[in-house]
Amino acid sequence: MNVFAVTYFAFLIIASSFAAFQQRRGPFMILFSLTLASFVLAIVGGTSALRSVAVGAGLLAFAASIAYCFREFLVIIMPTGIARELRTAPLTAAFGLFVIFTYAIAGIFAPWIAPYGESEIISSAFAPADENMLLGADQLGRDMFSRIVYGARNSVGLALVATVSAFFMGALGGLLAATKGGWFDQFLGRAADVIMSIPSLIFALLMLSIFGPRIIVIIIAVAIIYAPRVFRLTRAVAGNVVVMDYIEAAKLRGERTWYLIRKEILPNSTAPLVAEFGLEFCFVFLLVAGLSFLGLGIQPPTADWGSMVRENATLISFGDLTPLIPAAAIALLTVAVNFVVDWMLFRSSGLKE
């Protein structure tokens, strides 16, 4: 028995007794089952297993307190209407907002944050981390940390532009199809069916093989692949709005299609569309990351998270996890966006399930 194990168990048992004393069933169950599980863990894995549990719990608590502070911060600086909504946000959503905020800062201010340029060779290949380089060097001797910061700008930026164009095409098509109806609606619907029956990655690979891996090709390919999904949702949402009486009234007033879409339909279908935008962004981001992992995304020397993983993958077989940081960054952003989307869907539907 060493000091660490004794403090660990003492802390858990005191905390669970306190929870029981306060009649809080949930926290008590969590803490006490953790205590029981820790007994087993300590026997099987020794102190090091307990240490990793403690580190994990510490990280979780850290993330929760950051999320809590960030939510309070937002509630204070935002105007009253938004602040009231934010006050009800769960901690996961607040954490998601915080992560998105961090990535935005990293992306916008990349040249000021990164100590070196993204394609600047400053040392030997795979040099270990030292006081100049936070995470060591990559396969050509470029600073890994700087490249990750620049990657926030390039990878996320590309995914964002691609999502916006897909969303614009899909939403415009869906709104027009819902208001115009007839053969236009039928034609777009069938076209969307055909595109959706080709797997997205395969379609992207086909287009990239023909037009070459250029950024504009990636954006157009993603727009074509994901526009049908947005189209379907917009068509369904707008279809419910179009049959309302106030649309009929506006039509009888002699308003044009463009006015109908902009002033009548769009304001009444924003909530599901915003949530859909978040979901689409996740799909697009993962697809683009996959493409660049395959060497078909943003071309070197521009820093990009997917290709960085591929280029430095050899380090993994030497027991170094640094090459996976860009991949973890992708996963973290996607999880964060999903948390926020979950909250928005919950808010817009008002469902309890």
Partner 1 sequence: MRDILGLVLKRLGLGLVTLLVISVIIFFMVELLPGDLAQAVLGQGATQETVEALRQELGLDRPAVVRYLDWLSGAVVGDFGTSLISGDSVGDAISDRFLNTLFLAAYAAVIAVPLAICLGVLVALLRNSLFDRIANVLTLTSISSPEFFLGYILIFYLAVKTGLFPAISSLSGDMTFGELLERTFLPALTLVLVVTAHMMRMTRAAIINLLASPYIEMARLKGAPPWKVIARHALPNAWAPIINVVALNLAYLITGVVLVEVVFVYPGIGQLLVDAVAKRDFPIVQACCLIFAATFILLNLAADVGAILTNPRLRHPK
Report the residue number, 145 or 281, with the smaller CB distance to partner 1.
281
Report the residue number, 148 or 260, with the smaller CB distance to partner 1.
148
Least gap, CB of 62 to partner 1 (angstroms) = 16
Distance CA 93, CA 345 (A): 11
Report the residue number, 9 or 203, with the smaller CB distance to partner 1.
203
Distance CA 127, CA 107 (A): 25
Least gap, CB of 197 to partner 1 (angstroms) = 5
Least gap, CB of 96 to partner 1 (angstroms) = 11
70: closest CA among 330, 305, 283, 339? Answer: 339
Least gap, CB of 330 to partner 1 (angstroms) = 5
Query: What tokens were used for 330?
Result: 């992708």
Least gap, CB of 208 to partner 1 (angstroms) = 6
Query: What tokens were used for 297?
Result: 């995304």
Tokens 């999904």 correspond to 229
Report the residue number, 10 or 206, with the smaller CB distance to partner 1.
206
The residue ranges that bind partner 1 (CB under 8 A) are 26, 29-30, 92, 193-194, 197-203, 205-211, 282, 286, 289-290, 293-296, 306, 309-310, 313, 316-319, 321, 323-324, 327-328, 330-331, 334-335, 338-339, 353
Q: Please, are residues 89 and 71 in contact by the beta-carbon 8 Å criterion? A: yes
Report the residue number, 53 or 175, with the smaller CB distance to partner 1.
53
Distance CA 122, CA 184 (A): 58
For the residues of 148-205, what is the DSSP string, one character each? HHHHHHHHHHHHHHHHHHHHHHHHHHHHHHHHH-HHHHHHHHHHHHHHHTS-HHHHHH
Least gap, CB of 39 to partner 1 (angstroms) = 19
Report the residue number, 35 or 338, with the smaller CB distance to partner 1.
338
Least gap, CB of 278 to partner 1 (angstroms) = 12
3-state helix, strand, coil in the chain (%, to 5): 80, 0, 20
Q: Please, are residues 182 and 171 in contact by the beta-carbon 8 Å criterion? A: no
Report the residue number, 81 or 350, with the smaller CB distance to partner 1.
350
Q: Is the dihedral of CA 63, 66, 68, 71 positive or negative?
A: negative
